[in-house]
């Protein structure tokens, strides 16, 4: 089976149920070793990946601040659910877009897409228990914006999407868990534990392939990472950082010191 065609079909699918089914199929084919990573398939720019009509997308800076009311907590759950839905598309795009990488690269990102779909379903099911569902509140498109901007090079993608954007989840999760512990929505603490542990693995995958590509191209990882930060993010990358979680995700001492300096 052609993994690039299957990944693209899942990426562009606008139905949540069908997208998850396609990701499940990819995962099953991967586990059965039924995917041919030597396949050919066209590489298309994807300005907008497949997503349902709702949620309505708004600019990140225009998103209303969530209060400490019950509704504020539910909006936070929805926001995390939205991040996990976007993360499915991020992983699918990595599996689809970049060619001539080792088979393990594609297997890794199919695995990530599958785990992100599991996270999405956990959160959406909890929203449904609470009388809501994904799409009931606005979302933003910040994660996909960076994915689209790094289409030009797998190195840029690995440098910035898992190692910066997804790693921000490692920074934010413990604080969010503390808030939920003091609310009536304590079930979120355990759900976030599952997501947090998986996300360490996802960031670790990004770290592995970033360093693999730097070594292959004979580039200094720290200079390269800093160049990518300056090109795409600039001074917007700032702490606090969860350095312990980043160490678990295989950030090395030089990278930890770089973050400390920010």
Tell whether 159 is covered by a domain. Answer: yes
Q: Clarify whether residues 7 and 109 are in a common domain.
A: yes
pLDDT value of residue 65: 62
Q: Clarify whether residues 111 and 137 are in a common domain.
A: yes
Domain interval for residue 6: 1-141
Instruction: Let me know how long the chain is.
Output: 262
Tell whether 20 is covered by a domain. Answer: yes
State the pairing for strand pair 57-58/139-140.
Answer: parallel
pLDDT value of residue 60: 59
Tell whether 147 is covered by a domain. Answer: no
Q: Clarify whether residues 57 and 178 are in a common domain.
A: no
Q: Clarify whether residues 70 and 158 are in a common domain.
A: no
Q: Clarify whether residues 137 and 160 are in a common domain.
A: no
Number of domains in the chain: 2
The pTM (predicted TM-score) of the whole model is 0.94
Residue 41: helix, strand or coil by DSSP?
Answer: coil
Q: Clarify whether residues 1 and 123 are in a common domain.
A: yes
Tell whether 251 is covered by a domain. Answer: yes
Q: Clarify whether residues 27 and 96 are in a common domain.
A: yes
Tell whether 146 is covered by a domain. Answer: no
Residue with tokens 């926001």: 79
Q: Clarify whether residues 175 and 119 are in a common domain.
A: no
Q: How far apart are the first and last CA of the chain?
A: 45
Tell whether 242 is covered by a domain. Answer: yes
Q: Which of 141, 176, 197 is the last residue of a domain?
A: 141
Q: Which of 141, 174, 209 is the last residue of a domain?
A: 141
Residue with tokens 């934010």: 172
Q: Clarify whether residues 137 and 161 are in a common domain.
A: no
Q: Which residues of 97-135 are buried (b: 16+ CB within 10 A; e: fewer)?
A: bbeebeeebbbbbbbbbbbbbbbbbbbbebbeebebebb
Q: Residue 62 has what DSSP assignment?
A: G
CA nearest neighbour of 72 among 154, 132, 5: 132
Q: How far apart are CA 161 and CA 93, in angstroms?
A: 11
Q: Clarify whether residues 134 and 170 are in a common domain.
A: no
CA distances from 227 to 149, 155, 162, 212, 223 (A): 15, 12, 16, 17, 6
Residues of the chain with pLDDT under 50: none
Tell whether 115 is covered by a domain. Answer: yes
Q: Clarify whether residues 167 and 113 are in a common domain.
A: no
Contact criterion met (CB below 8 Å) for 185 and 77: yes
Q: Which of 108, 141, 174 is the last residue of a domain?
A: 141
Q: How far apart are CA 198 and CA 61, in angstroms?
A: 28
Q: Clarify whether residues 156 and 256 are in a common domain.
A: yes
């Amino acid at each position: 089976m052609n993994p690039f065609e299957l990944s693209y079909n899942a990426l562009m699918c606008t139905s949540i149920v069908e997208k998850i089914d396609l990701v499940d199929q990819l995962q099953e084919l991967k586990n059965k070793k039924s995917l041919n990573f030597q396949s050919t398939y066209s590489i298309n720019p994807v300005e907008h990946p497949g997503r349902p009509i709702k949620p309505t997308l708004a600019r990140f800076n225009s998103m209303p601040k969530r209060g400490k009311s019950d509704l504020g907590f539910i909006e936070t759950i929805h926001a995390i659910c939205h991040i996990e839905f976007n993360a499915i598309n991020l992983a699918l795009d990595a599996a689809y877009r970049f060619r001539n990488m080792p088979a393990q690269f594609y297997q890794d990102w199919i695995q990530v897409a599958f785990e992100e779909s599991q996270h999405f379903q956990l959160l959406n099911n909890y929203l449904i228990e609470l009388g809501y569902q994904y799409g009931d509140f606005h979302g933003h498109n910040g994660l996909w914006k960076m994915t689209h901007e790094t289409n030009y090079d797998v190195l840029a993608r690995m440098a910035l999407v898992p190692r910066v954007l997804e790693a921000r989840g490692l920074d934010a999760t413990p604080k969010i868990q503390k808030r939920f512990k003091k609310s009536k929505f304590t079930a979120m603490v355990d759900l976030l534990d599952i997501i947090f542990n998986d996300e360490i693995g996802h960031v670790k995958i990004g770290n592995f392939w970033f360093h693999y590509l730097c070594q292959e191209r004979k580039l200094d990882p720290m200079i390269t990472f800093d160049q990518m930060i300056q090109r795409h993010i600039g001074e917007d990358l700032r702490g606090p950082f969860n350095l312990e979680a980043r160490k678990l995700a295989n950030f090395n001492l030089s990278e930890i010191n770089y973050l400390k300096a920010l």
